[in-house]
Amino acid sequence: MSIEIREITTKGDIKKFIRFYTDLYRENKQVAFPLHIDEDKSLRKGNPALKFCRVRYWMAWEDQKPVGRIAAIINTREQEKTNRKIGRFGLFDFVDDIQVSELLMKQACRWLKQEGVDTLHGPMGFTDMDRQGLLIEGHDRAGTMSTNYNFDYYEKHINALKFSKSTDWIEFLIYPDADILARIKSLSDRCKKIHKLKSVKYKSHKKLKERADEFFSLINNGYSDLYGYVSLNEEQRKYYTECYLSYVHLDMISIVVDEKDRMVAAGVAMPSLTDALQKAKGKLLPTGIYHLYRAMKKSDCVDLCLIAVDRDYQGKGVNSIIMYDITKGAMDLGITKAETNIELEDNTNIHQMWKFFNGEQHKRRRCYIKKI
């Protein structure tokens, strides 16, 4: 049978687009399935990024059966920042059939070229806060809530489509213990003394959210030069405040301030939800919400979601304060290991943090690029 490419436009179509990923990976034991309700909000009107991103979605069908999907994205703020006619592809999933991946990519490129795009990179989401990168190492390892998982045959397809490497992100699995904690504490105390800094702990999410604007300003400042990053605007800050800062475990967030109580660094971690998301298979009901609640209360692993340091304080050891706060909070909860988030392969300031821990660099993701 021939492959048919159909554009996704209706609410019902979006549901099929979202569920395709769950169905494709249903028997896989590594993927942390995204929640359908979150995906729906991200792909439609609930996502403030859609106000400055133009996007089209397509699915591939064979004999009335879905066999692939793709999103083509134009982030106009990225184009303004880079002064390039650049576009993105993402949510690119398919069965192991080169005809499927090729037809989907051709359709995406056709639309992007009509919109004036001459360079395409991905896999990426609307912004840097979305999942990004193609997993090329670590397919035997469990994924995390904030990262993509893909079959190893994807790399073969991307190469066949004539993309080349743009950048890589790497991830680490680390194991804290009492000796490591004591060593980090010494570094943390020394940094606080030299730079006159202190850690702030909050007993309520309400108090934390009162500093949300500072928090996201810090992220914009610290991430401004990172690959693909586009500053978060006011509406996005409010969106992510409700999405994340309302639910983070207060024992696993670190806020560092200077003498004037100005926020200069922050770190956020969460108990791993991978096992719960595996069981939920994208659905909150009937039992998904129970598994997620249980994971938030008891887990042996923590996901290090993000670390941001004001550019004036980068390279001065402030990371040690964040790592001590989060590591102590995690160990007090009985957590024995941690997954880092994706880190650019040349971001040596971040990589230096993990040298104090027993662990390994266990995953690698790639962003590809080509002229179209």
CA distance 342 to 305: 9
CA distance 328 to 258: 21
Residue 29 corresponds to which tokens in the numbers above?
A: 């034991």
Give the chain's radius of gyration (CA, Å): 21
What pLDDT is recorded for position 46? 84
CA distance 339 to 190: 26
For the domain with range 173-363, which CATH number is right: 3.40.50.1950, 3.40.630.30, 3.30.70.20, 3.40.50.10480? 3.40.630.30
Provide the β-strand partners of residue 56: 72
108 torsion bin: left (phi>0), alpha (psi -120 to 50), beta (else): alpha
The distance from CA 210 to its chain's CA centroid, rounded to whole angstroms, is: 24
Local mean pLDDT, 10-residue blocks, the chain (372 residues) = 92 97 97 95 91 97 96 98 97 98 98 98 95 97 94 98 98 94 96 96 90 94 91 92 81 94 95 94 92 87 92 92 94 93 90 88 98 98
Give CATH 3.40.630.30 domain extents, the chain: 3-171, 173-363
Cis before residue 123, ω within 30 degrees of 0?
A: yes
Contact 308, 222 (CB under 8 A): yes
Q: What is the pLDDT of residues 177-210, one digit of tens each?
A: 999 999 999 999 999 999 999 999 888 988 999 9
pTM, to two decimals: 0.94
CA distance 297 to 55: 37
For the domain with range 3-171, which CATH number is right: 3.90.1260.10, 3.30.230.10, 3.30.300.30, 3.40.630.30? 3.40.630.30
What pLDDT is recorded for position 183? 94
Alpha helices in the chain (DSSP H): 11-24, 36-43, 76-82, 98-114, 153-160, 178-195, 205-209, 212-223, 234-240, 274-280, 288-297, 318-332, 348-351
CA distance 180 to 320: 11
CA distances from 78 to 81, 162, 193, 230, 278 (A): 5, 23, 39, 6, 34
CA distance 46 to 31: 25
Residue 352, helix vs strand vs coil: helix
What pLDDT is recorded for position 144? 95
Cα diameter, the chain:
70
| Residue that is written with structure tokens 């184009």 in the block | 79
Write the DSSP assignment of 57-115 as a string of letters: EEEEEETTEEEEEEEEEEEHHHHHHHTS-EEEEEEEEE-S-HHHHHHHHHHHHHHHHHT
Among 167, 324, 186, 353, residue whose Cα is nearest residue 255: 324
What pLDDT is recorded for position 1? 62
